[in-house]
Every structure is written in C-alpha cells, then in structure tokens.
Amino acid sequence: MPKRGNGETGRFSGWRAVAAACAACAVAALGAVAPAASAAELSIVFTSTMADIEPVEGEGGLANLATLLRTKRAEGNTLFLHGGASLTAGVLSTFDRGAHMIDLLNELQPDMMAVTKRDLGFGKDELTLRSYEARFPFVSATTIDRNTGKVMEGLEPSALLDTPVGKIGVVSAISPELTVQYIVPDIEVRPPATIAAEARALRAQGANYVVAILDNAPEAVDALRGEPAIDALLQLSATGKDVLEADKGKLFGVHVNVKGSAFVLRLDGDGKAPPALAGADIVPLAGLPPDPAMEKRVGVYLARLSELLDINIGTTATALDTRRAAVRTGENAFASLIADAMRGHFNTDVAFINGGNIRGNRQYEAGTVLTRRDIQRELPFRDTIIAVTLPGKALREALEVSAAGVDNQKGSFLHPSNMAVVYDLKQPAGSRVVSVTVGSKPLDPDVRYSVALPNYLAQGGDGYGMLKSPGAAPGSGGKLLWEIMAQHLTDRGTVSPRIDGRITER
C-alpha cells in the first residue's frame, strides 16, 4: 500500500433521524471549555476533504468516520456537518464525476455539505446534478450564478437546523480562487467576508448558535473571527496542520485533514438561551476501527475500480515523489515525465503541465510497477491535452505566473518539456525569470512555438490568460492526460525520470 505525504438522536434538520449504537472511541482532546448548566447536550461532528476512497496506510477514511458518527449518535444528540472538497480529485470521480461519493455520504447522513472550489472541478452542471442526488443540502452563500444573480441552482445560502440545544445555523463561503483556478464563466464569487451578513440573517431567523465554514480563504479569517453573529469559524486549508482554538466561548478551527481527521464540538444548552461551548476535540480517524457496513459499501466501489484499473503498464527505475510540495515548488521527476510524454505525443516544441494536475500525494520506490490505477490516481481530472501555437513572450509571462505561486504551493506551478528555466525567487513577482531556453536556444519573444498543454490552461485557467488560445474549450478535442501517460509507459515498459536541471533557482 503506498504511503501518503504529509431525546432523539441523530439529525435534526427534518431530513431524517437515526439511532445507532457503537463502542466508545478515544479522541485527542483540545481541552474543554467550562460548560454551563443545561438541560441538553449536542455533539457537532465536522470533517472535509475526503475525495479518495482508496485506503492509505496510516490514514482514516469513510469507514472510520462512520464509526465515529455511530458512536456519537449512540451517545446522544449529534449533527454531522461536512465541509466539502470531496467530489473531485479521487480516482473514481474521473469516471462518475463524484456520484459515488454522494451515494456513500447519503449513508453517513450529513445534515449539510459546504461547497468548495474543488467541488466545482467538473463544472456547474455536474455539481447541480450531485445536489439533486444528495439527501442533504449543499450550502454556499457566495457562489452566485451570473445569469440569475442568485445562489447557484442546487445550493442553499445557509442551513438552519433544529436541535435540543437550540437552532444551529450554518453558512459557508467558497474560495475566490474558484474563478481563477477553474473554468466557470457563469459563476461569480462574492467576497468570503460577506457571509457575516448571512450569519446575522440566521440570528434574525432564531439561530442560537452559528457555524461558518470557510473554503481556504485566510484573508477573511480576521474579519469573520470578529463577527459577533458567528460562534464557530471552521476554515479548510490545503497545507499546515489541524488546529482548534477556543477563546471566550468562541471557536476557530483549521481543518487540513492530511491523515484523515474530524472535529467534534460539544454544546450545552436549554434550547432557549445560546448554547455554551463545552469542549472541542480533534479526532484522528485512523485510530478508530472501520464500520463494517460502510467498509462493505466502499469495497463494492473499490472492486469496480480493480476491474478497470489493476493493470500493470510500466515500471519506474527511479524513485518518484508526487507529494504536494514536491510538484508545486520546483522541478519534479514525475511531472517532467508527464510533460515529456505530452510533447512526444503531439511532437511540439515545448510542453507545460501544471503541478495542480498531479494529485496522488505519494512516494514510489525505485522499481515500482505502475498500474493504470496509479496513473488515474495521480491524474484524476478529465482535462484533455491539446497543441497550440503561442509567442515566446506569452511563454515567458506564463513562467512569471508560475514563479509567483511557489511560496503558497499553488497548483499553477509549471513543469516544462524541452525548456530550461532559471528563476530568482528573491526578486519581486513579475521579475523572477532570469533566463529561458528552448532546446539549446534562448527563448525568442517574437517567435511562435508549438506547445502541448492542458485544455484548461489553454482556456486561461489558473491565471494564465496569456496562454488563452482560439478554439480551446471544454470538450474541444485533444486526448485525456492519463491516457497519454498510460500509453507512454506501455510503449516504453521501463522509465527512469530524473531531475535534469530544467528548472533551477539562482
């Protein structure tokens, strides 16, 4: 198994109620806040970012989460809030656009799911379809359809959930990077801090406690932490570690979920006055036994994947590292292998692949036999690769955009083929490209070069407006990236990708 990098119980929203029993589980406690005397207690379970159903050594997954939920529901009143970021980037999502995840989440019975930029990875229409399949509401107050000026079809701006400790309001904001990183021309993203107004509206509707979920928008944290109408602010983050901080009855959390985790909040209240925060825990899911029923459900999907993907296609004679930092901050052997395969397939002058296309977050030892499953896991998006012609000036501008995202490990970082780039990252953004050569010649700003690149980049995605090319559009031809890679490996049998100096830093 590969290793990855770093009263009534149940639901109260009116969708359905569940009663279950389970042995007690151990959790890592933050340190409880002194509870107020109350007539009822409520547990709020929160998690996010669980797109891949495949088991990974040392990590917890949906079956472990099911055990936690069953335990908490057996103990008493429980809400399950899902932070989203789970419908794309998984191996199976490439085939069904996340439908399997909705099927599995329906079994876990969340009271709501926040919508993140990642959940729109397959576009607006696919997310709307998933919302119709779900037996729980999708929530986002800031994802606006430009055609109607209202929240996108299939989404709700907020949720108001009845519980024995009072009404719990939930609001969420999607990351503004959605419109930069994804091709969603019909979507407008309002500033995340505007959900403060939605939180106040929930208070006016009778909410006793308000939870705000923030999709990877740290710039809005300070303003929202200071908003009196928000009691708990939970931010999703792609880097760092899980954090919970309680102060004066308010809660702030950062959920990274690198190893599979959940937050458990405990509230005490009488259903009239605002409930008191009695404690907050970070639960490492890997420490819980898997729920047999959910493990069986997941196993059905894994068996389907095995039929499709457990086919050997090649061997890597060298070690490979596809962890997030490795593919978003510098030259990477696996990314170079992909770029070279793209250029070879289209016979272009150069090729670009952005690090955000690579999602496996794994390490492979030298001598590893690679399967279709490995390639599908690493390259889960259904974007096609096309060949376009672009001036050298545009290529240099693109490399400047690439360099600007290194500090934040943005997925826009470009890996080239048949090109050598020297950066000076100490220089200000826009002045970090020192030199560029194509083959053995300096990049000529006036010469037009043939370039193989993802259709997504050719539409200006990830901030690459200078790469926008006529004719580039969803479904406008080309070949799926993972198919190019699978054929490249099959044709060669054994590959030996290495760091060869195509990206260096002064």
Q: Where are the chain's structural domains?
A: 28-302, 312-505
Distances (CA, A) of 395 to 54, 339, 427: 38, 15, 19
According to DSSP, residue 259 is labeled: S
Is residue 350 within 8 Å of 449, Cβ to Cβ? Answer: yes
Burial 229-264 (b: 16+ CB within 10 A, else e): bbbbbbbbbbeeebebebeeebbbbbbbbbbbbbbb
Burial of 391 (0-12, 13-18, 19+ CB in 10 A): middle
Kindly report whether the global pTM for this prediction surpasses the value 0.85: no
* Residue 486 and residue 341 in contact, taking contact as beta carbons nearer than 8 Å: no
- For residues 473 and 456, what is the distance between their CA atoms, to the nearest angstrom? 8
Task: Write the CATH number of the domain with boundaries 312-505.
Answer: 3.90.780.10
Strand partners, 144: 151, 188
Q: What distance separates the 2 farthest-apart alpha carbons in the chain?
A: 77
What does the DSSP assignment read for 456-501?
Answer: HHHTTGGG-GGG--TT--TTSS-EEHHHHHHHHHHHHSEE-----S
- Digitized pLDDT (tens) for each residue of the chain, 506 residues in all: 444 444 322 333 333 333 233 333 333 444 444 444 447 999 999 999 888 898 777 889 999 999 999 999 999 999 999 999 999 878 888 889 999 999 999 999 999 999 999 999 888 999 999 999 999 999 999 999 999 999 999 999 999 999 999 999 999 999 998 888 788 889 999 999 999 999 999 999 999 999 999 998 888 999 999 999 999 999 999 888 999 999 988 999 999 977 789 999 999 999 989 999 999 999 999 999 999 999 999 999 999 888 888 999 999 999 999 999 999 999 999 999 999 999 999 999 999 999 999 988 899 999 999 999 899 889 988 789 999 999 999 999 999 999 998 988 999 999 999 999 999 999 998 999 999 999 999 999 999 999 999 998 999 988 899 999 886 665 556 788 988 999 999 999 999 999 999 999 99
* Residue 388 · residue 454 · CB < 8 Å: no
Contact 170, 161 (CB under 8 A): yes
Question: How far apart are the C-alpha atoms of 414 and 401, rounded to whole Å?
Answer: 9
Q: Was domain 28-302 assigned CATH 1.20.59.10?
A: no
* DSSP notation for 163-201: ETTEEEEEEEE--TTHHHHS--TTEEE--GGGHHHHHHH
Q: Are 81 and 110 in contact (CB under 8 A)?
A: yes
Both tokens of residue 196?
A: 């403060």
